Chain A
Amino acid sequence: MKSNIKISTQELNLFYGAKQALTNITLDILENQVTAFIGPSGCGKSTFIRTLNRMNDLIDGVKITGKVIIDGIDIYDKNIDVVQLRKRIGMVFQKSNPFPKSIYDNVAYGPRVNGITDKNKLDEIVEQSLKRAAIWEETKDRLKSSALGFSGGQQQRVCIARCLAVNPDVILMDEPASALDPISTSKIEELVHELKEHYTIVIVTHNMQQAARISDYTAFFYLGELIEYDKTKKIFTNPSNKKTEEYVTGRFG
């Protein structure tokens, strides 16, 4: 089965002031696949994932050249409505960041800010999103209690549910399990596997085993450049680039 190209970046450069953080990144991300970005700290993988929903716009002094094309449209075009874009490209952050509100209000936040006020509709979205994020069983009796009272792993899945509630096509995950214990991590990984049926998933990870386990494609970043991008299996068993080989075999990083 050949997938369609969902996201395509062309000669993407990113500068923080005078410092160049990304150099000439050109890659295609396929629809309904899990694409993992790996690389040592500071290699630009997190910066790169944040260019895909224009999260870097929030940081002063960031300059971007090149193109990011999602569904055939350049998202850095000046006519693009960033708010509409972010509705389609969901994001899960490294540190679970639920709002200091109830579980229900957390998940209903996205639909609410997008204008849904009907109680029944919201109930339905909340339930469905929590089910999809595999946290419904643990939260269904405590929907009105504060999200901050749950464990880190549960909070992260609530954040995933919150992200699913706005019904995005793409989910960007920036090291979603790096702060979690092994059991919570494996739950998130299972979830990623289930979600890829409906969503295109891009995941940044520090953990190479994790990338190998859950992704279909892997991109290796080093010092702001894309060193190698291929099927995950190939990257981990037979990389073409020496640098990649050194990294995946644990010789540096």
Chain B
Amino acid sequence: MAYIILILLIVVIVAVYFFKKKLSLTQNKKINERFFVSLTGLSAVFIIVFIGYLLLHIFLLGKGSLSWEFLTTPPKDGLTGGGIFPAIVGTSLLVMIMSIIGVPIGTITAIYLVEYAKENSIITKSIRFAVNTLAGVPSIVFGLFGLGFFIGVVGKQMDVVEANNRISKMERVFEQQGSPFADDGKATGTEIQQLLEKNDKEYWLKQTEKIKILTEIYGAGNPIPKAGAMKFFKERIQPNWGQPSLIWAALTMALLTLPVVIVSVEEAIKTIPRDLREASLALGATKFMTILRVVLPGALPGILTGTILTIGRGAGEVAPILFTGVAYYLPDLPKAATSQFMHLGYHIYVLATQSTNVDLTKSLQYATTFVLLALTFVLNFTAVMIRSKIRRRVGNNN
């Protein structure tokens, strides 16, 4: 199939070349014109047919699984049944957090580059170099960076700080008046349990299992020394930030899409006529005021274009979130920024490669693909609607 298309393409190119030569010789402009109109029209039709075929193919293969239940329930039976609700929620959350973080940073950078930075200064050059490099880095590298930096450095440090807070809080609890440790520096497992529950219900209530282990180590009913208990808990503090999660995946994704935002906002800012800036400045507005009240409102459609492109990219990319937060199977929805999440793109990959029953998953896989396309389309469409509304309001057509 691919060969046939390739050969056809070559034939068309060669034909065009010779026809053009021949036609210009005959000077028959009318035929020339007609030929090129039909050629360009044909190319357009070809693309539409291709996209239409693709969509139809996906829809037909997936429609057996598409149902309300498919959209609203988690997967079940070893990924051979159920729905994709957690993946829809996960993808939407990821894209939203990514935009909330990435779009403002990109916009502010673009403002700096256009309005404040001196062209050809070292700072401007290095920012531009960084942006261009970012745009060219393969997305899997972003994933590794997210793992190494956000999780390995930032998250780990946050955990260390959090663990120290926990431990010092625990120490205060152990040393306070009325603590079973107060008289001889020892307490039984039950006493520790009661003490912790009384003081920090929310967190230590979850530690019942650990206290059980602690009690077993020292033997049931035996007193446990304070230092021993502290050491035991310290070693068993769960990492909270230093692990793959929604927030790190979103940050990695924001970084990946930053160049897209910067470039489109920059272009939008540049279209604001110099006249308008001068008018504002001549009225005694500061540069900052001018940016806030004239430049940014005018650039809003462009900023939204950037957001749309970002969303489109973010919803489809899987590589950056591979190591930074996406989960293979997670029936529960993410509860916090530190939760892992499911993702439509990754779910397609999982269905396609990790299935226990290929026949059963095939239709699920295509249905998921269809939902991913539809979701991207809905997000884009919403953004386009908002943009055209704003465009009409500010009367700017960039």
Residues in A neighbouring B286, C-beta threshold 8 A: 83, 113
A51 to chain B, nearest CB (A): 13
Decide: A163 and B285 in contact? CB cutoff 8 A. no
Most buried by B among A90, A109, A113, A162: A113
Indicate if A236 sits at the interface (CB-CB under 8 A): no
B284 & A166 in contact (Cβ 8 Å cutoff):
yes
A162 near B395 with CB under 8 A, answer no
Whether B293 contacts A97 by the Cβ 8 Å rule is no
Q: On chain B, which size bracket covers the interface?
A: 20 to 34
Query: Given the interface contacts A99-B294, A113-B289, does A53 sit within 8 Å of B282 by beta carbon?
Result: yes
Determine if A86 is an interface residue (Cβ-Cβ < 8 Å): yes
Whether A27 is near chain B, meaning CB under 8 Å from some CB there, is no
Answer yes or no: A93 CB below 8 A from chain B CBs: yes
Is the CB–CB distance between A114 and B284 below 8 Å? Answer: yes
- Binary contact track B275-286/A, C-beta < 8 Å → 1, others 0: 111111111111
Contact B282 A163 (CB under 8 A): yes
Shortest CB distance A168–B (Å): 9
Contacting residues, chain A, for B106 (C-beta < 8 A):
none
Give, as a whole number of angstroms, the nearest-CB distance from B292 to chain A: 9
User: Please, which residue of chain B has its CB at the minimum distance from the CB of A59?
Assistant: B274
Chain A interface residue count: which class? 20 to 34
Complex Cα spacing A81 to B394, Å: 31
Say which residue of B118, B276, B278, B283 sits within 8 Å of A113 (CB atoms). B283
- Confirm or deny: A47 has a beta carbon within 8 angstroms of a beta carbon on chain B: no
Q: Which of A154-168 contact B (CB under 8 A)?
A: 159, 162-163, 165-166
Q: Does B298 contact A (CB under 8 A)?
A: yes
Chain A minimum-CB-distance residue to B119: A60
Within the assembled complex, what's the spacing in Å between the Cα atoms of A93 and B298?
A: 20
A45 at the interface (CB under 8 A from B): no
**Residues from chain B with Cβ under 8 Å of A113 in the complex:** 280, 283-286, 289, 293
CB within 8 Å of B: which A69-120 residues: 83-84, 86-87, 90-91, 93, 95, 97-101, 109-110, 112-114
How long is the Cα–Cα vector from A84 to B282 in the complex, in angstroms? 10
In the bound complex, residues from chain B placing their C-beta under 8 Å from that of A60 are 118
The residues of B that contact A100 with a CB separation of less than 8 Å are: 298, 394-396
B280 contacts A109, C-beta separation under 8 Å:
yes
> Chain B's nearest CB lies how many Å from the CB of A225?
26
List of A residues within 8 angstroms of B277 by Cβ = 58
Q: In the complex, which residues of chain A have a beta carbon less than 8 angstroms from the beta carbon of B273?
A: 97
Question: Which parts of B281-329 form the interface with A (CB within 8 Å)?
Answer: 281-286, 289, 293-294, 298
In the complex, which residues 372-398 of chain B have their Cβ closer than 8 Å to any Cβ of chain A?
394-396
Contact indicator B278/A146 (Cβ below 8 Å): no
Complex partner residue of B293 from A91, A109, A114, A163, CB under 8 angstroms: A109
**Across the interface, do A90 and B282 meet the contact criterion of CB distance under 8 Å?**
yes
Tell me the smallest distance from the CB of A117 to a CB of chain B, in Å.
Answer: 14
13 CB < 8 A contacts A-B: A55-B278, A60-B118, A86-B281, A90-B282, A93-B275, A93-B278, A97-B273, A99-B276, A99-B294, A100-B395, A110-B283, A113-B289, A113-B293
User: A: which residues have CB within 8 A of B?
Assistant: 53, 55, 58, 60, 83-84, 86-87, 90-91, 93, 95, 97-101, 109-110, 112-114, 146, 148, 159, 162-163, 165-166
Given A91-B282, A100-B395; 16 other pairs, CB 8 A cutoff: A58-B277, A60-B118, A83-B286, A86-B281, A86-B282, A90-B282, A93-B275, A93-B278, A97-B276, A97-B278, A99-B279, A100-B298, A159-B279, A162-B279, A166-B283, A166-B284
Residues of B that sit less than 8 Å from A by CB: 118, 273, 275-286, 289, 293-294, 298, 394-396
